[in-house]
Amino acid sequence: MFHFTDDCLIGVDQIDEEHRGLFQLIGEMHDLLQNPFINDKHDHICELILRLENYADEHFKHEEAYMEKINHPELALQRKQHLEFSEKMIEADTILKSHNEDELLEDLLTYLVRWLYRHIIGSDLMIGRMVTLDEWKKSSYAFTKQYLTGIEIIDEEHRELFRIMNEVHDVIANDLLSDKYDEIVRLLEDLRTYTKIHFKDEEQYMESIHYKGLEAQKTAHEIFVSRLDEMDLNEIDANQQDALEEIMAFLTEWLINHILHMDRKIAP
C-alpha cells in the first residue's frame, strides 16, 4: 500500500496537496486491484481511470507552471515524464473500451500506480529544493555534522560521496581546464560505482533494523541510480559545460536533500 508521508513533502503547498490527492487515488486503485470480492471491476476501473486522468492532467499543468516560474533545471525532463504518463492513460482508455480487463489491464494499472509513486519520491521531491546553477557553481560541499545519521558505516560512505561530488564540482568549475571529458567520465563512473555500493549497504542496514521507510528509500535509490545510468556521455562531450553543470547540480542537491530529509530518519 502507498501512503503519503512527510518524506513526500516538497514544501510547496499546492503541489503537496495535489500529491496527497494523487496518493489517495493511488490507494483506491491499489485497493481495487487487490479486492478479491469484486468480480466485475469494469465500471469501478472506468471511474477511477477518468478521475486519475483528469486529476493528473491538472496537477501536471500546475507543477510545470511552478517549475517554469522558478526556472527549475529539470522542467524539460518532467514534461517528458508527464507526457509518458498521459500516453499510458490513453492506453488504459483503449483497453477499457475493448472490455479487455484481465491481465493486460491489471499490469497497466499497476504500472501507472508505481510510476506515480516513483515519480513523486524520485523526481518531484527536488522541486523547490534545488539551488540555481549560479548558486551551485559558487558552492562547495563540506561534510558537516548536519549530515550525520549517527550510523557509522552510513556516515563514512556519505563522507566519501561528498568527496567525489566535490571533486566533480571542482573540475566543472575549473575555467582553466578546456577539455574536461576524460576526467569527468572517470569521476562519474566513480560516483556511479560507489553510489550503488552505498545504497546496497544502506538498504541492508535498514532491513536489519526492520525500518518502516525501506520501500520509499529503495524507490528513491533506484531513481538516483537510473539518472546516473541514463546519462548520455556523447551529449556531455558535445556540450560539456552546460550539460555537466545541469546534471551535477541535480545529483548534488538530490543527494544532499536525500540525506537531510530521508537518511537522517533512519537512526533511532
CATH of residue 247: 1.20.120.50
pLDDT score for 125: 77
Last residue of a domain, one of 75, 105, 126: 126
Q: Is residue 1 part of a domain?
A: no
Ranking 117-126, 184-193, 217-226, 236-245 by mean pLDDT, the lowest is 236-245
| Same structural domain, 251 and 139 | yes
Q: Count structural domains, the chain.
A: 2
Domain boundary, last residue among 98, 126, 154: 126
Spatial contact of 221 and 203, defined as CB atoms under 8 Å apart? yes
Task: Band the pLDDT of 61: cuts 50, 70, 90.
Answer: very high
- Mean pLDDT confidence for 8-14: 84
Instruction: Tell me whether residue 77 is in a domain.
Output: yes
Q: What is the mean pLDDT of the chain?
A: 82
Q: Are residues 17 and 68 in the same domain?
A: yes
The whole-angstrom separation of Cα 99 and Cα 88 is: 17
Looking at residue 221, its amino acid is: H
Task: Look at residue 150 in the predicted model and tell me its pLDDT.
Answer: 93
The pLDDT score that the predictor gives to residue 238 is 60
In a domain, 236, yes or no: yes
Range of the domain at 78: 6-126
Choose the final residue of a domain: 126, 147, 181. 126
User: Cα–Cα distance between 205 and 210 in angstroms, integer?
Assistant: 9
141 lies in the same domain as 120: no
How many angstroms separate the CA atoms of 213 and 2, rounded?
11
Evaluate whether residue 117 is within a structural domain: yes
Residue 19 or residue 250, greater confidence? 19
Residues 83 and 106 in one domain: yes
Both 142 and 261 in a single domain?
Answer: yes
pLDDT given for residue 257 in this prediction: 83
The verdict on residue 156 lying in a domain is yes
Does 93 share its domain with 192?
no
CA distances from 265 to 85, 198, 213 (A): 31, 17, 9
152 with 219, same domain: the answer is yes
Q: What share of the chain is helix, strand, coil (3-state, %, to 5)?
A: 75, 0, 25
Q: What is the pLDDT of residue 207?
A: 95
- pLDDT single digits (tens) 131-162: 666 676 677 778 889 999 999 999 999 999 99
The pLDDT assigned to 86 comes to 87
Do 155 and 232 share a structural domain?
yes
Give residue 121's pLDDT band: very low, low, confident or very high (50, 70, 90). Answer: confident
DSSP, res 71: T
pLDDT tens-digit map of 20-42 = 998 888 788 778 877 888 877 77
What's the pLDDT band for 73 if we cut at 50, 70, 90?
Answer: confident
CA pair distance 255, 126, nearest whole angstrom: 10
Q: Per-residue b/e over 144-163, b at no fewer than 16 CB within 10 Å?
A: eeebbbebeebbebbeebbe
This prediction has a pTM of 0.70
pLDDT at 99: 60
User: Are 155 and 250 part of one and the same domain?
Assistant: yes
- Cα angle 139-144-145, degrees, rounded to a multiple of 5: 150
Does 194 reside within a domain? yes
Task: Clarify whether residues 103 and 149 are in a common domain.
Answer: no
What pLDDT, on a 0 to 100 scale, did the predictor assign at position 151? 94
- The whole-number pLDDT of residue 4 equals 77
Judge whether residue 100 has pLDDT over 60.
no
Same domain, 109 and 167: no
pLDDT tens digits, one per residue of 163-222:
998 888 888 777 776 667 778 788 888 988 999 999 999 999 999 999 988 888 888 888
- 233 and 160 in one domain? yes
Please check the confidence at residue 48 and state whether its pLDDT lies above 60: yes
Three-class HEC string of 147-169: HCCCCHHHHHHHHHHHHHHHHHH
pLDDT at 2: 64
Q: Is the pLDDT of residue 8 over 80?
A: no
